Amino acid sequence: MQYSQPLLKVRDLKTHFFTRAGVVQAVNGVSFEVMPGETLGLVGESGSGKTITVTSILRLLPRGAQILDGEVIFEGESILDKTEKEMESVRGKRIGLVLQNSMTALDPVFTIGTQITEPVVIHNRVSWREGWQRAVDLLRMVKIGAPEVRAKHFPHELSGGMRQRSASAAAIGPTPSLLIADEPTTALDVTTQRQYLELFKELQAQTGIAVIFITHDMSIVGNLCDRIAVFYGGHVVETGPKAEIFASPSHPYTQALLGAIPVLGEKVERLQSVDGEPPNPLHLPAGCPFHPRCASAMEICTSGDAPPAFQLHPEHQVRCWLLEAEDHAGDSVRDA
């Protein structure tokens, strides 16, 4: 699928937390793009910077966090230059958000229908009656049976899968052009998770909305996403089209994540794992943040700056010194 201009462009985004214990380097120069109608998967372990990246985009950072540098361009406008009042017309109306836990995302004292109707009324400037009908239609769209009845129910009266579908309906109600889904399947069982992902793809096909899908599960991005950005230690260490990354993963961390996916029908004694622990963002290691866990680490990996982005193909970038070493080795062979 070819596009003209990115819907969202993030360049060298840097967000840190200033705490009594020190500076938490949560996001360190993150760059990626989202094209209209596509799904970009942000994947990596907990603490890798995925959620702080998107909350920086939405300007919903907690106290103590600060965007130090970078650029966020959405639909041709700079998000970071907008006032808080201007951001109110961006959040919900132009960028929707689905949170990980539907029980905390939905207010327990209001009905499902009310919570879907309210953002539609506020952002689309329609009557409550029109908004309520839109809410019922959205519940039907996300395949909740008897939507006229379910709209009058409270969150605790619905199953986990129904709550997550309702939260998704509320997010797409004002018809945003970009939807951010922050690990929405984490609290769901395997069967419900599969149904939700299939529904997610159907909703995107019907609405044409672009999606940023955050997860720690490579099998999910393999099933759902068009492109992938692999996060580690506050950096995007590899990004590219899904097919290319799955066929030719080039960063050792990406290779390890793919090696941890069980394959149906294949019998293995033990799945691949990544030894060690994710880095402490209070005390990130010098050089490449992955080098303490990397079996292929070289001297250059352990000191100085983090590796730059090496361009493998027009849309495939990798931050790993091994790429430079392999390139030099190839030059030596060619020179010989």
Looking at residue 335, its pLDDT comes to 36
Same domain, residue pair 64 and 164: no
Confidence of residue 305 (pLDDT cuts 50, 70, 90): confident
- Per-residue tokens: 20: 């009594």
CA distance 142 to 183: 18
Domain membership of residue 34 (yes or no) is yes
Three-state secondary-structure class, residue 127: coil
Region of poorest pLDDT, from 42-46, 258-262, 312-316 = 258-262
Which residue, of 175, 201, 222, is where some domain finishes? 175
Give the helix/strand (H/E) hosting 193.
helix 190-207
Same domain, residue pair 14 and 134: no
Do 65 and 146 meet the contact criterion of CB atoms below 8 Å apart?
no
Which residue, of 153, 175, 197, is where some domain finishes? 175
Q: How many other C-beta atoms can be found within 10 angstroms of the C-beta atom of residue 2?
A: 4
Rounded average pLDDT over 275-304: 90
Same domain, residue pair 228 and 203: yes
Domain membership of residue 3 (yes or no) is no
Instruction: Tell me which amino acid residue 142 is.
Output: V
Do 142 and 166 meet the contact criterion of CB atoms below 8 Å apart?
yes
Looking at residue 167, its pLDDT comes to 92
pLDDT at 87 over 50: yes
236: CB partners within 8 A, 6+ apart: 30, 31, 32, 229, 230, 319
Residue length of the chain: 336
Region of poorest pLDDT, from 12-21, 129-138, 200-209 = 200-209
Of the two residues 56 and 303, the one the predictor is more confident about is: 56
Domain membership of residue 319 (yes or no) is yes
Averaged confidence pLDDT in the chain: 89
CA distance 283 to 48: 14
Same domain, residue pair 228 and 302: yes
pLDDT at 306 over 50: yes
Same domain, residue pair 135 and 171: yes
- Helix, strand, coil percent values for the chain (each to nearest 5): 35, 25, 40
* Tokens 């599960």, located at residue: 217
CA-based torsion, 73, 78, 81, 82: positive or negative: negative
Q: Model-level pTM?
A: 0.91
Looking at residue 268, its pLDDT comes to 61
pLDDT at 273 over 90: no
Inter-CA distances, 200 with 52, 163, 225, 327, Å = 23, 14, 11, 41
Domain membership of residue 74 (yes or no) is yes
Which residue, of 151, 175, 199, is where some domain finishes? 175
- DSSP codes, 154-178: -GGGS-HHHHHHHHHHHHHTT--SE
Nearest-5° angle of CA 202, CA 208, CA 211? Answer: 80
- Per-residue tokens: 36: 């209209």
Domain region containing 147: 105-175
171: CB partners within 8 A, 6+ apart: 96, 97, 98, 179
Region of poorest pLDDT, from 1-5, 44-48, 246-250 = 1-5
- Per-residue tokens: 2: 């070819």
Cα-only R_g, the chain:
21
Domain membership of residue 31 (yes or no) is yes
Rounded average pLDDT over 130-147: 95
Domain membership of residue 100 (yes or no) is no
Question: Cα 164 vs. chain centroid, distance in angstroms?
Answer: 17
Region of poorest pLDDT, from 97-106, 154-163, 306-315 = 97-106
Question: What is the pairing mode between strands 95-98 and 227-232?
Answer: unpaired
Alpha helices in 208-299 (DSSP H): 218-224, 242-247, 252-259
Three-state secondary-structure class, residue 132: helix
Confidence of residue 267 (pLDDT cuts 50, 70, 90): low
Whole-number percent of the chain with pLDDT over 70: 92
Same domain, residue pair 223 and 327: yes
Rounded average pLDDT over 14-19: 96
Nearest-5° angle of CA 198, CA 201, CA 203? Answer: 110
Same domain, residue pair 187 and 216: yes
CA distance 246 to 226: 11
Domain membership of residue 134 (yes or no) is yes
Of the two residues 203 and 237, the one the predictor is more confident about is: 237
CA distance 66 to 43: 23
Same domain, residue pair 123 and 237: no
Confidence of residue 266 (pLDDT cuts 50, 70, 90): low
pLDDT at 139 over 80: yes
Same domain, residue pair 164 and 296: no
pLDDT at 161 over 70: yes
Of the two residues 325 and 56, the one the predictor is more confident about is: 56
pLDDT at 160 over 70: yes
Confidence of residue 325 (pLDDT cuts 50, 70, 90): low
Domain membership of residue 213 (yes or no) is yes
Rounded average pLDDT over 117-145: 95
Same domain, residue pair 325 and 193: yes
Of the two residues 277 and 110, the one the predictor is more confident about is: 110
Same domain, residue pair 84 and 215: yes
Same domain, residue pair 166 and 290: no
Number of domains in the chain: 2
Which CATH number characterizes residue 27's domain? Answer: 3.40.50.300
